[in-house]
């Protein structure tokens, strides 16, 4: 749980399987719930920024972090999803068979990545910003997303300083 590393925008299991094995996932009406002895997580449809108490997007533009009154969410931004789709579809010279396979893979990838991971605030002990890095710790003191890397950019180091400080202030109000 401490170390997530993605070096491409085409990982099929970006947020879904990075925390728990597939046998711990339980499908629900609008998402997937993860219940285990370590943490409660769920996955659902992506959230519009207007529904969040506070939102921050990486400078690079691929990842959103959001706060609601009860949860922290992480998801690919619209820009991030557009980049993924571009990566998937960038070779127009494919044969018909390759185009069909690419289309099937593309829709599957889109379905997986078009989700938000929800972490209940009761699972979080700290959200802070130090030395240019946004830090999120669980109840056991372990860092979330510490090594999350999207195309060579560490997500937790890719937030604007002022935006990160405001996000932390908003989080502190909710965590108290």
pLDDT tens digit sequence for 11-60:
333 343 344 444 444 443 334 444 444 678 888 889 999 999 999 999 99
Mean pLDDT across the chain: 75
The stretches of 23-150 forming alpha helices (DSSP H) are 78-88, 96-113
- C-alpha–C-alpha distance, residues 34 and 159, integer Å: 28
Between 77 and 85, where is the model more confident? 77
Distance in angstroms (rounded) separating the CA atoms of residues 70 and 114: 21
Hey, where are the domains in the chain?
Answer: 22-175
User: What pLDDT digit, counting tens, does each position of 106-129 carry?
Assistant: 555 566 677 899 999 999 999 999
89 within 8 A of 106, measured Cβ to Cβ: yes
Within the chain, where are the H helices? 78-88, 96-113, 161-175
Query: If we measure between CA atoms, which residue out of 89, 78, 76 comes closest to residue 148?
Result: 76
Question: What was the pLDDT predicted at 23?
Answer: 40
Provide the pLDDT for residue 89: 67
Flag whether the pTM goes above 0.85. Answer: no
């Amino acid at each position: 749980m401490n170390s997530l590393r993605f070096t491409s925008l085409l990982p099929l299991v970006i947020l879904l399987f990075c925390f728990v094995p597939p046998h711990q996932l339980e499908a629900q009406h609008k998402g997937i719930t993860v219940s285990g002895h370590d943490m409660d997580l769920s996955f659902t449809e992506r959230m519009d920024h207007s529904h969040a108490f506070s939102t921050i997007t990486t400078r690079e533009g691929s990842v959103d972090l959001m706060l609601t009154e009860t949860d922290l969410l992480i998801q690919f931004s619209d820009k991030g999803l557009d980049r993924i789709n571009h990566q998937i579809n960038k070779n127009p010279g494919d044969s018909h068979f390759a185009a069909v396979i690419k289309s099937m893979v593309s829709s599957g990838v889109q379905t997986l990545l078009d989700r938000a991971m929800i972490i209940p605030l009761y699972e979080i002990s700290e959200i802070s910003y130090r030395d240019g890095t946004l830090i999120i710790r669980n109840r056991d003191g372990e860092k979330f997303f510490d090594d999350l890397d999207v195309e060579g950019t560490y997500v937790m180091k890719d937030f604007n300083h002022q935006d990160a400080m405001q996000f932390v202030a908003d989080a502190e109000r909710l965590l108290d």
